[in-house]
Amino acid sequence: MKRLFTIWPFVYTNRCEDDVLYYNTISGDSAYFKNNSAIANITEMLEQQDFFCTIDDNLVEELDKYNFFTILMKKNMGYYRKESFPVKPVSWQNIDIYNTDIILNFKNDEYLLENLRDITFYINNYADVPVYANLQTIHKAHKQFLFPVIESSKSELSFDAIQSVLQKIAPNIVNINILGGNIFNHSQIKSLIDLFNQSLHNIYYHFHYTDLTSKMQQQFFSLIDEDAIKIILIDFPFTENDFQKWKKIINKKNILIKFIVESDIQIIEAENIISKFKLEDYHFQPFYNGKNLDFFRSNVFVSEEDILTVKESLFSLMTKKISNPSFFGKLIVNACGEIYTTINQPMVGHLIDLSLEKIIYKLITDEYSVWRKNKCLVTPCNKCIYNLLCPPISNYEYALEQCNLCHVKCSK
């Protein structure tokens, strides 16, 4: 007798040649069938027939060899019936993850600005003195994560330029990141702090731990709204005397300490700082310096177990299929007014001729823009069964010049 078979709407499937993955987006359970053409064929049949199909006896017998139905039912991924139905049961996916035309929903001109979720302003690119230990390191670090930038040619964004951007994106509420060389050296810093204090946006200030070099700068810091997030960046070598100036601040509300680490030794040193200063809210940010690949393999690269430990919703997987969550909705404005999606790619606009709608439309409609480019489109990840479950492409992939920051062997 033929068998009627379907999978539940919350189950995601992926095929790479004869490797097949079934993933329960509610429980996080998965079933991985390697090098199995029979299961690959039935999965393809399911995808082509709205996730409901009729299976002949000979195929049922073949699939039973691998406990296929038993495994899927045990992990609540579907069901089968041996008796026939007078009509085909209703079957559907809650979100059509297989239909990439869903990107059309993002293209409506009326709502383009709603796709903007995060703006970073480098309000200046200088400091009073060369307080940072390694300027070359500074320049490379900001290409991997938010970090101060010091240039030989001084520039700063004007109050009016920043205000015009905030007015343009109103009434949408976005995340606003504020950085510089040392932002306290901006000629209009008090006015800018007042502007951000009055804003309804989520404000994040990023400081290097050596930024509090004077009482005036400490007074400026005290003007910042207590609801704003203040992130204090610590790199190595570490100078304790400079960090002492933050002692009365570091464990107050909305203060995050971020350690920039390049080795296991620096992690140990950071842990000693955490213990000595009794830090409560902190984070480790790995930095690739071109020579510490082994450190990244141990601390950043993910394994199959790591990937499957993170529970992904069907909506999250759909989002990663049509966009790149690491970059989507994010823009960076440097101190010269140039606009980027990531510093690792050419600029996409300038504040002089600002048209956020045009910038956003172009980024959304170009499948290979930084906002859209995902692991389904790049090698070798497009041949990997975990490409959507894996962390999306980030600045680390640009720094290491490879997309597969993992220990997973992809199908050939």
| Distance separating alpha carbons of residues 174 and 330, to the nearest angstrom | 10
**Class at the top of the CATH hierarchy for domain 109-400:** alpha beta
289-324 as b/e: b if 16+ CB within 10 A: beebeebbeeeebbebeebbeeebebebbbbbbbbb
**Is 0.85 topped by the overall pTM?**
yes
Q: Write down the domain spans for the chain.
A: 3-81, 109-400
Mean pLDDT per 10-residue section of the chain, whose length is 412 residues? 84 93 96 95 88 85 92 92 62 54 57 92 84 53 94 93 94 95 96 97 96 92 97 95 94 96 98 97 96 97 95 91 94 97 96 91 91 93 94 97 92 56
Q: What is the DSSP string of 376-405?
A: TSSTTGGG-TTTTTSPPP-HHHHHHT-S--
Amino acid at the residue 371: W
Q: What is the pLDDT of residue 224?
A: 98
CA 80 to chain centre: 38
Other beta carbons less than 10 A from residue 401's beta carbon: 6
Q: What is the pLDDT of residue 271?
A: 98
Query: pLDDT by residue (tens digit) across 50-98?
Result: 888 888 888 888 999 999 999 999 999 998 877 665 555 555 555 555 5
Query: pLDDT by residue (tens digit) across 312-339?
Result: 998 899 889 889 999 999 999 999 999 9
The alpha carbon torsion through 250, 327, 301, 264 (nearest 10 deg) reads: -30
Q: What is the pLDDT of residue 81?
A: 79
353-383 as b/e: b if 16+ CB within 10 A: ebebeebbbebbeeeebbbbbbbeebebbee
Angle at 72 between CA 68 and CA 77, to 5 degrees: 150
| Distance separating alpha carbons of residues 138 and 228, to the nearest angstrom | 25
Q: Are the C-beta atoms of residues 136 and 287 closer than 8 Å to each other?
A: no
Within 283-386, residue ranges assigned H as helices are 293-299, 304-309, 314-322, 356-365
